[in-house]
Amino acid sequence: MSDTRLSSVVQLAQTLIQRESITPEDANCQSLMNKRLSNIGFNIEEHFFVDTLNTWARKGQTSPHFCFAGHTDVVPVGDEKAWHYPPFSGVVKDEMLHGRGAADMKGSLAAMIIATEQFIKKYPDHKGSISFLVTSDEEGPFINGTTKVVDLLEARGEKIDMCLVGEPSSRNELGDVVKNGRRGSLTAHLTIKGKQGHVAYPHLAINPIHKVAPFISRLTEEVWDAGNDYFPATSLQISNIKGGTGAGNVIPADAYVQFNFRFSTEVSADELKARVHHLLSQYELDYDIEWILNGLPFLTEPGPLLDVTLAAIKDVTGVESTPETSGGTSDGRFIAQTGCKVIELGPINATIHQVNECVSTTDLDNLALIYERILEKLLT
């Protein structure tokens, strides 16, 4: 149960945290949100794809069309004994709300709902449209969530003009960082083929680990681009290397290397693939490679959405916010590919995915005020 002495934002966040929605489970979080949205005039669509519940809720049919996007699923809690408070209790202590999802991102969802309720109460005849795109598959494989809803909207010609994703973007204080883009992510699964044999007779075998080692060294030294005004230079990281049978006297038949690019708008995924294949050919490696494109880079340049967001943060908190494109991927990448302008704004991210995840109750209250101010600036 929520504590009625708390603000409406914190009460709702607390209630959502108390629902154990470990990805891809939703645990009725969306039904709670949808009931509140329905009560203020939203048309609710629930779409279930395979194992994932998604919501598309919209009020209005005209432009500008502003969308709040987020996810109800959370990552596993880890060692529950290491938590100061039970991870799904939603305890408030010393003005901090504790629990899995407090910052990532049930606090943001609560702020979105309260902000929208307050805005519509003040401006029942606002211009344009407001929508919510909510999934329970952001922390998981992300194949049955936002991307499927976007495909559905595209198929019926329903366009979002501007979108705010509630990911925890802030670094040291609420609103100090707004994500106005994200790097692309491209993963390679590389298998180098050799010939198994006895280590005492290397002339009768081909050691794939020896063959791939110089290539790995070259790969990590390569300069892929220099970045630009909005993005840092493209980076590559080796994430996994596997080889060998476990026996000390056997040359393995193959070796496996996994690596990932986080790439800027200065280079395309196809260009990165081509350059890797060129390097592989230079080292005369016998290989198979599988590429996984996790997301393309996107950028929302200075303009109405970003300008309004920075102004709203300044109005509520006095903070001069900095737009950045750092960090990992988010579901914003799927929405941005439709031509929609996308930003990310949410609480401080210091404890996300950790034990003892928590968020300031004051920050949640202010986040709701910022969201409400954005709606006022865009839709009145």
Catalytic amino acids?
Answer: 73, 138
What torsion do the CA atoms of 202, 208, 211, 217 make, to the nearest 10 degrees? -140
Report whether 198 belongs to an annotated binding site: no
Report whether 324 belongs to an annotated binding site: no
User: Are the C-beta atoms of residues 171 and 321 closer than 8 Å to each other?
Assistant: no
User: Which amino acid is residue 22, in one-letter code?
Assistant: I
Residues across the chain: 380
Helix (H) or strand (E) holding 45: strand 43-49
Q: To the nearest 5 percent, what fractions of the chain are helix, strand and coil?
A: 35, 25, 40
**What tokens were used for 116?**
């929208």
Cis peptide before 208 (omega within 30 of 0): no
Cis peptide before 33 (omega within 30 of 0): no
* 47 beta partners: 54
**d(C-alpha 209, C-alpha 173), whole Å:** 47
> Please, which residues have CB within 8 angstroms of residue 154's CB and are 6 or more apart in sequence?
338
Enumerate long-range contacts of 96-99, CB under 8 Å, 24 or more apart. 96/358, 96/359, 96/360, 96/361, 97/10, 97/13, 97/14, 97/17, 97/358, 97/359, 97/360, 97/361, 97/364, 98/356, 98/357, 98/358, 99/14, 99/17, 99/18, 99/357, 99/358
Report whether 104 belongs to an annotated binding site: yes
Report whether 117 belongs to an annotated binding site: no
Report whether 271 belongs to an annotated binding site: no
Q: What residue numbers does the annotated binding site for Zn(2+) cover?
A: 71, 104, 139, 167, 353
Q: What residue numbers does the annotated binding site cover?
A: 71, 104, 139, 167, 353
